[in-house]
A and B are shown apart, each in its own frame.
Chain A
Amino acid sequence: MTPESLRLTVNEAARVLDDVPSGERLLDTLRWRLGLKGTKEGCRTGSCGACTVLVDGKPTLACLTLTHEVDGTSVTTIEGVGSDRVGAKVRAAFQTAGALQCGYCTPGFVMALTGLLKERGRTIPLSELLEDLGGNLCRCTGYVSIVRAASMALAEAP
């Protein structure tokens, strides 16, 4: 049985989705049903953070989330992060710090960092912020510039 249609707000646009199979993950809904390819599939087992999006402002692994489980929520992906006050600052910090090599992990890092700064603001110590980014992996190992971007974004967080 396929559950009834579901409603999501994706990057501030209301979407009604019909015929989403019960086992479909949010990652596949975003990439293949909605064409938002900015959210990346890395490990598909919740180990790499590449698929991180915000669900009601909270960083969430889209690969480990059934789409029906987030029915009624607001989802923000890398494509919509610029409309978020904190997200825009994080994106700018990644640009300024040149915090990417191949770029595959970048959307996940930007969303994870945006979520953390929205949750904790500038009260979070840098050491804890970096610890909390530990769920995102960069296979190019370009961490030095990512850490620079994170400290820049923290300094400018509201």
Chain B
Amino acid sequence: MTTFDLVAPATPDEAIALLRADGSGEVLVLAGGTDLLFDLEGGRAAPRRVLSLRHLPWATLDWNGTSLTIGSTLSLRALENDPDVRARLPGLYAAVRAVGSVALRHRATLGGNLGRSAPASDLVPILLALDAEVDLVGPHGERTLSVDRFVLGSRQTALSPGELIRSVRIPEPRPSAYLWQRVRPFHDISHMAVAVAYSPAHSRWRVAVSGFPPRPLLVPEAEEALDGPVPNERAIGRAAESVARHAPIVADRRASEEYRRHIVRPLLVRAVRAAASLPEVR
């Protein structure tokens, strides 16, 4: 068993001070632990200290008019159980339910998923499509980054030394959808996934893809093919061609590039149709 110093500070200031006092790589942040413990067990991580966020007051969910602020340590199950999330952000609801199992989601958090930044994250693509922002707190105060600027690569984020993710903000409810392709439907890693959302405020679509390294990405070329809240069949078809051609898809041990480019088309078509409340195509 790995040994480390486990600390659970009572306040954000105390947490930041503790985090800052340690050299980088020496201290790891623990939220729900469902991903981190996997690395600790396998010896892939051997921190001197683990800083638990369990006492911080960040397990919150606040609808403020149209915007939603999700505290970084709120469990994914609590997020999924909010009736407004299900009704007003259907893509986020679907993406949360794509993560692990119910028992895993009772501990896993949105902050943890972003902070660990796995290349096949089911949550990052929908956060990109929803134009979500990440609120950070650190030794030099607070700052906010778009998810697109926060996630830098596989297991890489824009977090500076001493910084913590406090919350994630979603600006508005959006018709949205998240669809994935996997070996097993439940509790598996998506090897190709598509998130789409239509912004009523900006009258534009967002399209993001995930499942391959190094990180989930927006595909602007596919977004441009779609227009209006209910795009026609030709526009959806053009967007599907565009995502298959322009998304920087690569092969890894879970799927080939060819297969991913093939499967991303129907995923995109079905996701846009679901978000636009069009009937399913058989």
Contacts and interface: CB of A to CB of B under 8 A. Distances in A.
A23 B186 contact: no
A112 interface: yes
B101 interface: yes
Contacts of A69: 30, 33, 52, 54
Interface stretch (B1-9, B169-177, B250-258): B1-9
Contacts of A64: 33-34, 37-38, 104, 107
A44 B103 contact: no
Interface residues of A, number: 32
Interface stretch (A55-63, A84-92, A143-151): A55-63
B203 to A, nearest CB: 34
Contact of A25 (B6, B37, B100, B103): B37
Interface of A: 1, 3, 21-25, 44-47, 49, 52, 55, 58-61, 64-66, 68-69, 112, 115-116, 119, 131-132, 134-136
Interface in B110-128: none
Size bracket, chain B contacts: 20 to 34
Contact of B101 (A55, A119, A135): A135
A1 B5 contact: yes
B41 A45 contact: yes
Interface of B: 1-6, 8, 30, 33-34, 37-38, 40-41, 50, 52, 54, 77, 81, 100-104, 106-107, 185-187
A23 to B, nearest CB: 5
Contacts of A24: 1
Nearest to A44: B41
A22 B104 contact: no
B1 A135 contact: no
A55 to B, nearest CB: 8
A60 B106 contact: yes
Query: Looking at B4, B6, B100, B106, which has the most chain A CB atoms within 10 Å of its CB?
Result: B106
Contacts of A136: 101
A96 B38 CA distance: 37
Contacts of B186: 131, 134-135
A135 B103 contact: yes
A88 B8 CA distance: 36
A135 B50 contact: no
B6 to A, nearest CB: 4
Nearest to A119: B81
Contacts of B106: 55, 58-60
Contact of A112 (B2, B41, B102, B185): B102
Nearest to B103: A59
B53 to A, nearest CB: 10
Query: Looking at A23, A64, A66, A135, which has the most chain B CB atoms within 10 Å of its CB?
Result: A64
A23 B3 contact: yes
29 contacts: A1-B5, A3-B6, A21-B3, A22-B6, A23-B2, A23-B3, A23-B4, A23-B6, A58-B106, A59-B102, A59-B106, A60-B103, A61-B34, A61-B101, A64-B34, A64-B37, A64-B38, A65-B33, A65-B107, A66-B52, A68-B6, A68-B8, A68-B52, A69-B30, A112-B103, A131-B186, A135-B100, A135-B102, A135-B104
